[in-house]
Amino acid sequence: MLNFDADRFLNIEQGAVALAPAIHDAIGKALGRGAENIFFVGTGGAAILMQPAALLLQRLSDFPAYMEIAAELVTGGHRALGAKSIVVIPSLSGTTKESVATMDYCRAKGATIVSLVGHKATPLGEQAGHAFVNFAEDDTSSESFYLQSLLIALSVMAHRGEYADYDRTIAELNLLPEHLLAAKQAFEPEAERIAERFKDEPYHIITSAGLSWAQAWYYGMCILEEMQWIRTRPVHAADFFHGTLELVEKGVSVVVFKGEDVYRPLTDRVEDFARQYTDKVTVIDTSVFPAPGVSPQTRALVSQVFLATLLERLSAHLEVKRNHPLTHRRYYKKVSY
């Protein structure tokens, strides 16, 4: 596999899942102290990766859950934020200035701060009430953040008696890192073929739905735009037919990410339409990758994790074929803004 360390990958994703007991304990303590809501608050890509967990709680739990952009929360505040709030802040570096400012702001309100970081010796690693540390880098952080935030959401519901299958789901999630590795290996040839098609493509419409929508948004903005300088239009599959469909014609690239939750028919509809009007339709479907021992219920919760792990392989080939390293930037951490 191109530029890939399997042992490193497994260690990181197994490390994320291994946080389950500590996360369950921390969430239990916060709820025991009377927590009344939870905020997922981040900056940039890390914030996007929190969306599936927030949506899961909003749709399956009576526990109020909010997803906020760090800088906006600090600037405008939020009426529901207070001493009975749990605030989850992801930051791989642990030093993201907007996220550190959010920690200080929320802590001043009396909230319980839960940080998800890659490094302990950082402001978010040392000053949060509960800091969960799992080393990762850009090529492995998406899966790690998805899994950790999912563990938080599942724990909230389990403690509240809203998710009876918690123990079974955690046991199945422990199988996931090996399955993700197998999916990468199986997808490698296709990843190279897609990269060859994409290497000179100037623009992509990228779509998905449900818990997988976050990965469409993230991959367009944080990988193709930031790391490859390719223009994209991430659009939710439910919104595709309310504007973006008019941009579809022969020669326009439409990329469809298909997950395995109840929202899959929304992506089927986009695919069916796009195939009629453009010759450039790419579908990445998590359901074709086996995961023995993982139930359909759990698979529906982790389609975005599978997509992230598959797309890392596409990115690895894209940077080589386009001679554009994923670490190369014009402005990010290069100039003041």
Q: Which two tokens stand for residue 220?
A: 């367009």
Same domain, 167 and 243: no
Residue 130 lies in a domain: yes
Same domain, 196 and 249: yes
What is the spatial distance between Cα 65 and Cα 62, in angstroms, rounded to a whole number? 9
Same domain, 119 and 199: no
pLDDT of res. 337: 85
What is the span of the domain harbouring residue 136?
Answer: 6-173
Please name which of 205, 188, 217 lies closest in space to residue 48, comparing C-alpha atoms.
Answer: 217
Same domain, 210 and 272: yes
Residue that finishes a domain, picked among 128, 155, 173: 173
pLDDT of res. 297: 98
Residue that finishes a domain, picked among 173, 193, 214: 173
What is the spatial distance between Cα 99 and Cα 218, in angstroms, rounded to a whole number? 18
Phi, psi of 258, deg, nearest 5: -110, 120
Same domain, 289 and 194: yes
Pairing of strands 85-91, 37-42: parallel
Residue 109 lies in a domain: yes
In total, how many domains does the chain have? Answer: 2
Same domain, 136 and 277: no
Same domain, 12 and 125: yes
Residue 94 lies in a domain: yes
Residue with tokens 């929360």: 73
8 Å CB contact between 314 and 194: yes
Q: How many residues does the chain have?
A: 337
Residue 327 lies in a domain: no
Residue 334 lies in a domain: no
Q: What is the pTM of this model?
A: 0.97
Residue 335 lies in a domain: no
Residue 249 lies in a domain: yes
Same domain, 89 and 113: yes
pLDDT of res. 9: 98
Same domain, 186 and 165: no
Residue that finishes a domain, picked among 146, 173, 200: 173
Cβ neighbour number for residue 318 with a 10 Å cutoff: 24
Spell out the alpha helix ranges (H) of the chain.
6-17, 20-32, 44-48, 51-60, 70-76, 97-108, 123-127, 138-159, 166-173, 176-198, 213-218, 264-277, 296-301, 303-321
pLDDT per residue rounded down to tens, the chain (337 residues): 999 999 999 999 999 999 999 999 999 999 999 999 999 999 999 999 999 999 999 999 999 999 999 999 999 999 999 999 999 999 999 999 999 999 999 999 999 999 999 999 999 999 999 999 999 999 999 999 999 999 999 999 999 999 999 999 999 999 999 999 999 999 999 999 999 999 999 999 999 999 999 999 999 999 999 999 999 999 999 999 999 999 999 999 999 999 999 999 999 999 999 999 999 999 999 999 999 999 999 999 999 999 999 999 999 999 999 999 999 999 988 898 8
pLDDT of res. 183: 98
pLDDT of res. 161: 98
Same domain, 25 and 167: yes
pLDDT of res. 333: 85
Biggest CA–CA distance in the chain, Å, is 58
pLDDT of res. 275: 98
Same domain, 192 and 295: yes
pLDDT of res. 36: 98
Helices 303-321 and 176-198: angle between axes, nearest 10 degrees: 40
What is the spatial distance between Cα 272 and Cα 248, in angstroms, rounded to a whole number? 13
What is the spatial distance between Cα 27 and Cα 19, in angstroms, rounded to a whole number? 12
pLDDT of res. 47: 97
8 Å CB contact between 178 and 10: yes
- Residue type at 49 in one-letter notation: L
CATH of the domain at 236: 3.40.50.10490
Please name which of 44, 116, 51, 50 lies closest in space to residue 329, comparing C-alpha atoms.
Answer: 44
Same domain, 146 and 200: no
Cβ neighbour number for residue 87 with a 10 Å cutoff: 26
